[in-house]
Amino acid sequence: MPQDINDQLALISGASASGKSASLMNLRNQEKVLYLNCEAGKRLPFKNNFKSFTITDPGQVVEALEHAQGNNDYDTIVIDTMTFLMDMFESIHVIDSANTMAAWSRYAQYFKKLMQTYVATSDKSILFLAHTRSDLDDTTMTMRTAVPIKGALQNNGIEAYFSTIVSAKTVPLKTLEKYESNLLNITEQDELLGHKYVFQTQLTKQTVGERIRSPMGMFNQQQTFIDNDAQLLLDHLKAYYA
């Protein structure tokens, strides 16, 4: 029987230019990384040997996941970004539809089937990258940060489909002083800049409005901020679920 959950699954969210794409630089066995570019072929900020494909229709992501399943040519799949993927679905399949109500239903069902049928049962490590948006919650007067999504999917948010969500950020070194762990390495370049690109793995009192999450015990308090390294994240997931 096929597995019904993919432990090697994570969402890397964050604002534009926060280091989401750069975090992929250290992925090992790059020739086995299937990189699905949903952002009009925008180049990654580093040289790589990924097997890259420019997605022009959301159906191609499903085809790619089907092709990779059981295929030893791949061990990691990256979808960059989910935000642009769902915008693409809207542009191609919703806006000019004769029946927009039915089209929005297909929009929601596309995402649900993608996650529940193809991603959940995949035998590959899968990383989704996504942009976030921050809005003021008038009720609590706090900022809420989430991956923007439209239609019925807004109710739960796409984050509900992930057990592990990290947020890519740029953080001043002063803030990082109390977070010392083997997952956070301050380089000479970081010292020169005075800040570091990191993944935030847990909420702090300053970020209670964000949708960062991980299973209990996966990260300790000292690991609230770690290097923005996707391979480091995947290795940590593998060790946790071993």
* CA neighbor of 173 nearest in space, from 205, 147, 197, 199: 197
Count of CB atoms within 10 A of residue 174's CB?
A: 9
**Which CATH code fits 9-241?**
3.40.50
> What is the pLDDT averaged over residues 187-215?
95
pLDDT bin (cut points 50, 70, 90) of residue 112 is very high
Residue 225 gets which letter from DSSP?
A: E
CA distance 229 to 14: 14
pLDDT bin (cut points 50, 70, 90) of residue 140 is confident
> What is the pLDDT averaged over residues 56-65?
98
**pTM, full prediction:** 0.94
| Domain coordinates in residue numbering, the chain | 9-241
